[in-house]
């Protein structure tokens, strides 16, 4: 059994939130960062659009960003958290530039270089700083490079958290599976930060990478943390529709630069759903596309930016242009086939303005958390901003805590009662079944009957997976499936409890918002009845 490893701070997740926090702490604390796969396999790396941030000191622009966010959040944003996040915008961009990140620039009217700003759905102004159409990649690589250079940061790739270790309502560390050596380690740390991203792999079709299995949400739930607003799962309106490129996202910025959504006959339709047409918030656009697909019995709709010049398209969207060409789609000459796909988890672990959870010493930041910023629907490009802002807030709080050099001796992982599995097919089958019925019954448009049917199917899966977990030696697939069934249960319970349609939650049984329901959905694992 490996010897216990001790660190001041354990960060589970190596995306924008996790690495930003590590870099902000490392001058004063010894930090270990876990990455479930390679460091570049998180959702941050694949983010295309950019980071929404007000870079000047104009009150009107700050107020505008706040108001746009509140509007997108459909009444459930926390106004104080929204203001705090927006006001940290410039500081967040300055931090990234200090880490060596480059942003796309243009010449100002005076001929001086300045940051180029995109506009995306829900935004009333251009305020999206970006690196062409691969902002997340540039952000990730700059943070990874800096982290690798810091003596106080230990990066552990291919390490998957099994469970948090909790004692007297305080976090003490975690059990961690080293997936390459198939051994469970015990890592002790008085501070643990969950930065594991979202849970969109619970759906059959998603823009997210393979790792988005809700690990942090499930870890926190099992540890005793409250989870909020899980009914608000965001579906990105425009995912490439192609059998070999089904998880490739077509950035919001394409619509921001004038692309039109059209039916196979070339007719536009978004003006019938919202006065903002293609620039409406994502929930409206995704439901509109879903309705048109079902109404006409078609496989997809199309996103057309071919009316722009070849030079404009290749300059603004080089990655999208190149990727589509791989599938014989020349976006300078023809429209892109697109469908909605699960994209972002707006709910998550309940936190305060310093990213603290219900458990002492346990923090959650980024997509895993429910901070109050997004409400019922995240506005485009507020997610990377949230990662950076709450990494800063968490670091401020952590660095003010008193630290002891002594570490508690934790119990070692015990697998004496389990055996090697000879039935791995069950994991693959249950994984596929879960994602299919979540897509069919708990997707963009819901009904009470569909949700209840999903709940019944899930109960059977939960028991099967619990029995399997108790009997066989763990692996990464089993851990992810165990986490996904928890996430699915939280989504279904939350959706059933909301007797209205609001933001990303749309049900045919209650198709309109209800003023009596303007409150967060909070689930507490410490209460037997939910």
- Please determine, for residue 529, whether its predicted confidence score (pLDDT) is greater than 60: no
- Please determine, for residue 109, whether its predicted confidence score (pLDDT) is greater than 90: no
Residues 263 and 226 in one domain: no
- Please determine, for residue 243, whether its predicted confidence score (pLDDT) is greater than 90: no
User: For residue 506, what pLDDT is reported?
Assistant: 95
Q: Which of 147-151, 166-170, 197-201, 420-424 has the lowest mean pLDDT?
A: 420-424
521 lies in a domain?
no
Q: Are 257 and 316 in contact (CB under 8 A)?
A: yes
Cβ count within 10 A of residue 425: 9
- Please determine, for residue 199, whether its predicted confidence score (pLDDT) is greater than 80: yes
Residues 42 and 123 in one domain: yes
Residues 395 and 484 in one domain: no
User: For residue 133, what pLDDT is reported?
Assistant: 87
Mean of pLDDT values over 182-199: 97
State both tokens at 328. 């014989």
Supply the CATH number for residue 73's domain.
3.50.50.60
User: For residue 427, what pLDDT is reported?
Assistant: 87
526 lies in a domain?
no
Supply the CATH number for residue 310's domain.
3.90.700.10
Residues 282 and 364 in one domain: no
User: For residue 120, what pLDDT is reported?
Assistant: 83
Residues 270 and 220 in one domain: no
Residues 67 and 187 in one domain: yes
Residue where one domain finishes, among candidates 342, 365, 392:
342
User: For residue 121, what pLDDT is reported?
Assistant: 80
Residues 197 and 138 in one domain: yes
Query: What whole-number distance in Å separates Cα of residue 419 and Cα of residue 14?
Result: 31
Residues 373 and 447 in one domain: no
Supply the CATH number for residue 490's domain.
1.20.58.100
pLDDT digits (tens, 9 = 90+) for 448-465: 999 999 999 999 999 999
Mean of pLDDT values over 179-193: 96
As a whole number of angstroms, the longest Cα–Cα distance in the chain is: 72
- What is the pLDDT confidence band of residue 528, given thresholds at 50, 70 and 90? low
**CA pseudo-torsion sign 268, 271, 274, 275:** positive
Residues 99 and 201 in one domain: yes
Question: Whole-prediction pTM value?
Answer: 0.92
Mean of pLDDT values over 242-249: 80
Residues 161 and 281 in one domain: no
52 lies in a domain?
yes
Q: Which of 172, 282, 378, 457 is catalytic?
A: 282
- Please determine, for residue 530, whether its predicted confidence score (pLDDT) is greater than 60: no
Q: Are 136 and 62 in contact (CB under 8 A)?
A: no
Residue where one domain finishes, among candidates 342, 369, 396:
342
Highest-confidence segment of 16-25, 130-139, 275-284: 16-25
**CA pseudo-torsion sign 318, 319, 320, 324:** positive
316 lies in a domain?
yes
User: For residue 489, what pLDDT is reported?
Assistant: 98
- What is the pLDDT confidence band of residue 98, given thresholds at 50, 70 and 90? very high
Query: Is 9 in a helix, a strand, or coil?
Result: strand
User: For residue 433, what pLDDT is reported?
Assistant: 95
196 lies in a domain?
yes
Residues 178 and 294 in one domain: no
**In which element (H, E) is residue 316 found?**
helix 310-316
User: For residue 193, what pLDDT is reported?
Assistant: 98
User: For residue 57, what pLDDT is reported?
Assistant: 66
Number of separate domains in the chain: 3
pLDDT digits (tens, 9 = 90+) for 292-341: 998 999 999 999 999 999 999 999 999 999 999 999 999 999 999 999 99
218 lies in a domain?
yes
Query: Which residues span the domain enclosing 440?
Result: 425-509
Residues 108 and 247 in one domain: no
Beta-strand relationship, 336-345 and 301-304: antiparallel
State both tokens at 479. 């851990």
Going along 78-144, which residue ranges are E strands?
105-107, 113-115, 117-118, 128-129
User: For residue 413, what pLDDT is reported?
Assistant: 93
Based on the residue annotation, tell me whether 83 is a catalytic residue of this protein: no
Q: Are 302 and 336 in contact (CB under 8 A)?
A: yes
pLDDT digits (tens, 9 = 90+) for 391-443: 999 999 999 998 887 888 999 998 888 888 777 788 889 999 999 999 989 99
């Amino acid at each position: 059994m490996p010897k216990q490893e001790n660190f001041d701070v354990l960060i589970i997740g190596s995306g924008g939130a996790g690495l930003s926090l590590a870099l902000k702490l490392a001058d004063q604390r010894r930090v270990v960062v876990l990455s479930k796969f390679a460091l570049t396999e998180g959702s941050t790396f694949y983010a295309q659009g950019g980071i929404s941030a007000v870079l000047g000191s104009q009150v009107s622009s700050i107020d505008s960003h706040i108001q746009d966010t509140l509007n997108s959040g459909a009444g459930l944003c926390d106004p104080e958290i929204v203001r705090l996040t927006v006001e940290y915008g410039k500081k967040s961009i300055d931090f990234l530039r200090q880490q060596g990140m480059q942003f796309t620039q243009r010449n100002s009217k005076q001929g001086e270089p300045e940051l180029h700003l995109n506009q995306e759905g829900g935004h009333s102004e251009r305020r999206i700083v970006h690196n062409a159409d691969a902002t997340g990649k540039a952000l990730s690589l700059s943070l990874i490079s800096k982290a690798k250079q810091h003596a106080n940061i230990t990066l552990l790739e291919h390490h998957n958290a099994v469970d948090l270790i909790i004692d007297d309502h305080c976090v003490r560390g975690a059990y961690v599976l080293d997936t390459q050596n198939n051994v469970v380690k015990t890592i002790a740390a008085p501070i643990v930060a969950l930065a594991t991203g979202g849970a969109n792999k619970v759906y059959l079709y998603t823009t997210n990478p393979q790792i988005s299995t809700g690990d942090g949400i499930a870890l926190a739930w099992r540890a005793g943390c409250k989870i909020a607003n899980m009914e608000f799962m965001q579906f990105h309106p425009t995912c490439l529709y192609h059998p070999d490129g089904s998880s490739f996202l077509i950035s919001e910025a394409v619509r921001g630069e004038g692309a039109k959504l059209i039916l196979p006959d070339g007719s536009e339709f978004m003006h019938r759903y919202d006065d903002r047409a293609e620039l409406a918030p994502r929930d409206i656009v995704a439901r509109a596309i879903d309705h048109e697909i079902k109404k006409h019995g078609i496989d997809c709709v199309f996103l057309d930016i071919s009316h722009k010049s070849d030079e404009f398209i290749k300059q603004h969207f080089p990655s999208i242009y190149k990727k589509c060409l791989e599938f014989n789609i020349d976006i300078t000459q023809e429209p892109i086939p697109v469908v909605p796909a699960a994209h972002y988890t707006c709910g998550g672990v309940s936190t305060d303005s310093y990213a603290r959870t219900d458990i002492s010493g346990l923090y959650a930041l980024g997509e895993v958390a429910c901070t109050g910023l997004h409400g019922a629907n995240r506005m485009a490009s507020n997610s990377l901003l949230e990662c950076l802002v709450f990494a800063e807030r968490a670091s401020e709080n952590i660095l003010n805590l008193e630290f002891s050099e002594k570490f508690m001796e934790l119990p070692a992982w015990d697998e004496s009662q389990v055996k090697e599995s000879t039935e791995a097919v069950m994991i693959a089958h249950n994984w596929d079944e879960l994602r299919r019925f979540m897509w069919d019954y708990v997707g963009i448009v819901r009904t009470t009957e569909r949700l209840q049917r999903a709940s019944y199917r899930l109960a059977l899966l939960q028991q099967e997976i619990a029995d399997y977990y108790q009997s066989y030696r763990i692996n990464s697939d089993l851990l992810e499936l165990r986490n996904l069934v928890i996430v699915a249960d939280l989504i279904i319970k939350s959706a059933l409890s909301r007797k209205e349609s609001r933001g990303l939650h749309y049900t045919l049984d209650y198709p309109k918002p209800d003023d009596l329901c303007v409150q967060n959905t909070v689930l507490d694992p410490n209460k037997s009845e939910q």
